[in-house]
Copies of this chain bind each other. A is one copy, B any other.
Amino acid sequence: MSSGIVPLPAAPAVRPREDRRLADRIALSAASGRGARVRTEDVRAWLAERRRAHVFHVERIPFAELGEWRFEQGTGNLVHRSGRFFTVEGMHVVELDGPSGDGPYREWQQPVVRQPEVGILGILAKEFDGVLHFLMQAKMEPGNANLLQLSPTVQATRSNYTGAHRGTDVKLIAHFFRPDPDRVVVDVLQSEQGSWFYRKTNRNMIVETVDDVPELDDFRWLTLGQIAELLHEDDVVNMNARTVLSCLPYRDTSPGALLSDAQLLSWFTGERSRHDVCAERVPLADVRGWKRGAEAIEHEDGRYFKVVAVSVRAGNREVVSWDQPLVEPVGLGTAAFLVREIDGVPHVLVHARAEGGFLDTVELAPTVQCTPGNYTHLPPSDRPPFLDAVLDAPPSHILYQAVLSEEGGRFLNARSRYLVVEADDAPLDPPPAYTWVTPGQLTALTRHGHYVNVEARTLLACLNAAMARPRGEQRHGGGHR
């Protein structure tokens, strides 16, 4: 450049629509059980050390002690004084067709978390020794049972990165805010829990860098193989990390699927068309069937979840404190894929599930997604389909299981047992609203938003993690039941 000769700009060139090398690089990282930067067996010690390094106290408080939050006059909505972050409001849902066809309609009201701004969940990737590593953060969140979990490099709401509060985790946000198009691996808006959130989406991103990245105490570079190993442990990999990882464009090595992609999309279009779900926001004060006490808003029969409040004191050098509402489910959830081989190709059974908070009627959900405790008062015939097949599965049929937490910034002790269960006797012609798809088809759908719900994305990440293990280790593997 110092020669004074300015190179001509390169002529614009078309490139292949698909980057075929990327799938190889992902496969190599998934096959790499050892990382270049930290041994997997040392990650646990590092997480424990980070847990000790930070002050992090979470205490339940009555609503009256919430400093920055209040029940808004008139609506009774729970809002922050700044008008930012999120609100707890009411939702009125009318479903004209039942989940299994033109059945009886359902109608209910419930509290719901509303956070209209799109946050960023971003994982930075970089090659070490020719293998892609992913920068994971040891991050504390008030709702996590064990407080600290393995998280994306950044998880930032728009309030975060425009300065509504100073999160230390947004140091690396620059990589994601206007990403280099040549370095984007994943970039898609995905929904979150439609039972608890009103139309929440986050931007799921993986961006590669060739820059030097400062080695920070709360961050470690891990291969996909290492993360897969950690995904077999309870409450280690957080929800945000799982959803981002589920969107990785793994190569489909199968010769095909029971349904072609066009048939699958047509089936999905049919499911979306026959559901007529109308969800409207209503004032929290008007929500029927729920009661507000001094310390919780809860369902009259004690089912589903509570809205509670906590006070948090956190920091390592500079200690900050805040308080906030959290949604606390009443029981341990179950989310499971039944999996079976069809013509030698593994398929999972997905459910086109309507949730009140979805932007658009239904998304593909796990075969089973429920809190079994909410169904104990119902006769067996009203239990969710396939729940017993999951709960009664012999250990030898369990390809994956672990108890994992949902987002600890909004949910308190929201834990589900995630399972992948081999069920070669499951019906090839399943009931309405269910169909068999390959993991490759699910992966292809995660390139777009509003197809695969967050629980199914977690299971897709778990399934990829289970596949990364040698076959003998898949069974009876983790879970620490």
- When the two chains form their complex, are residues A256 and B14 in contact, meaning their CB atoms are under 8 A apart? yes
In the assembled complex, how far is the CB of residue A101 from the closest CB belonging to chain B, in whole angstroms? Answer: 11
Contact flag A276-B15 (CB < 8 Å), given A188-B269, A203-B269, A447-B265: no
* Chain B contacts for A184, CB-based, 8 A: 262-263, 266
Taking CB as reference atom, which chain B residue is nearest A429?
Answer: B12
- When the two chains form their complex, are residues A260 and B15 in contact, meaning their CB atoms are under 8 A apart? yes
- When the two chains form their complex, are residues A116 and B276 in contact, meaning their CB atoms are under 8 A apart? yes
Contact flag A14-B342 (CB < 8 Å), given A184-B262, A263-B184: yes
B181, B343, B440: the one contacting A13 at CB < 8 Å is B343
Taking CB as reference atom, which chain B residue is nearest A445?
Answer: B448
- When the two chains form their complex, are residues A257 and B14 in contact, meaning their CB atoms are under 8 A apart? yes
* Chain B contacts for A278, CB-based, 8 A: 116
From A16-24, A142-150, A163-171, A392-400, the one touching the partner chain is: A16-24
- When the two chains form their complex, are residues A11 and B343 in contact, meaning their CB atoms are under 8 A apart? yes
* Chain B contacts for A178, CB-based, 8 A: 270
- When the two chains form their complex, are residues A181 and B266 in contact, meaning their CB atoms are under 8 A apart? yes
Total residues of chain A contacting the partner, CB 8 A: 54
In the assembled complex, how far is the CB of residue A114 from the closest CB belonging to chain B, in whole angstroms? Answer: 11
Contact flag A14-B179 (CB < 8 Å), given A189-B272, A265-B447, A276-B117: no
- When the two chains form their complex, are residues B267 and A342 in contact, meaning their CB atoms are under 8 A apart? no
The count of identical subunits is 2
- Flag A55-71 by CB within 8 Å of B: 1 or 0 each: 00000000000000000
Q: Does A433 contact B (CB under 8 A)?
A: no
Within 8 A of B (CB), among A223-262: 249, 252, 254-262
* Chain B contacts for A249, CB-based, 8 A: 262
* Chain B contacts for A254, CB-based, 8 A: 14
Q: Does A115 contact B (CB under 8 A)?
A: no
B17, B117, B189: the one contacting A260 at CB < 8 Å is B17
- Flag A1-37 by CB within 8 Å of B: 1 or 0 each: 0000000000111111111000000000000000000
- When the two chains form their complex, are residues B14 and A187 in contact, meaning their CB atoms are under 8 A apart? no
* Chain B contacts for A19, CB-based, 8 A: 260, 262
In the assembled complex, how far is the CB of residue A243 from the closest CB belonging to chain B, in whole angstroms? Answer: 14
In the assembled complex, how far is the CB of residue A346 from the closest CB belonging to chain B, in whole angstroms? Answer: 11
- When the two chains form their complex, are residues A16 and B256 in contact, meaning their CB atoms are under 8 A apart? yes
* Chain B contacts for A312, CB-based, 8 A: none
Contact flag A260-B343 (CB < 8 Å), given A189-B273, A272-B189: no
Q: Does A359 contact B (CB under 8 A)?
A: yes
Tell me the complex Cα distance, A342–B276, Å.
Answer: 44
B13, B342, B360: the one contacting A12 at CB < 8 Å is B342
7 additional A-B pairs beyond A12-B258, A117-B276, beta carbons within 8 Å, are: A14-B258, A15-B260, A17-B260, A116-B276, A181-B259, A181-B267, A203-B273
Identify 11 residue pairs between A and B in the complex whose beta-carbon atoms are under 8 Å apart, listed by A's number: A14-B256, A15-B259, A16-B256, A17-B441, A18-B262, A19-B262, A116-B276, A118-B272, A181-B266, A184-B263, A203-B269
Q: Which 10 A-B pairs have the closest CB atoms?
A: A187-B266, A14-B256, A184-B266, A14-B343, A17-B261, A181-B263, A16-B256, A118-B273, A187-B269, A14-B345
